[in-house]
Amino acid sequence: VDVSPMSPVLSNGTKVNGNLIIQNMRKYTLPCGVKINGHLFVRNVERLYFCGDFTVNGNIYVNRQSSFGALPKGAKINGQIML
């Protein structure tokens, strides 16, 4: 997911089978109920927000040009957050 018009649009409850890469944006809000069966990569996103609960069945990788807001209480991360 990035600022390109060809980038996929995520909506509430989207299931991603594989890794999800969010990149090259000033800010982005991950929709509620997203389930990622892989890793979440956050690259060059000034601020990542979370609509609500989500699931990542892998790690969350955040590069140094990125940051994210508070994790919702019901978020499920079956790996680690790698900064």
pLDDT tens-place string over residues 27-66: 999 999 999 999 999 999 999 999 999 999 999 999 999 9
What is the distance between the alpha carbons of residues 25 and 13, in angstroms, rounded to a whole number?
Answer: 22
pLDDT tens figures, 1-28 = 877 777 778 999 999 999 999 999 999 9
Displacement of CA 22 from its chain's centroid (Å) = 6
DSSP collapsed to 3 states, 18-47: CCEEEEEEEEEEECCCCEEECCEEEEEEEE
Mean of all residue pLDDT scores within the chain: 94
For the beta carbon of residue 67, count every other beta carbon within 10 angstroms: 13
Calculate the alpha carbon distances from 53 to 46, 48, 63 in Å: 21, 14, 22
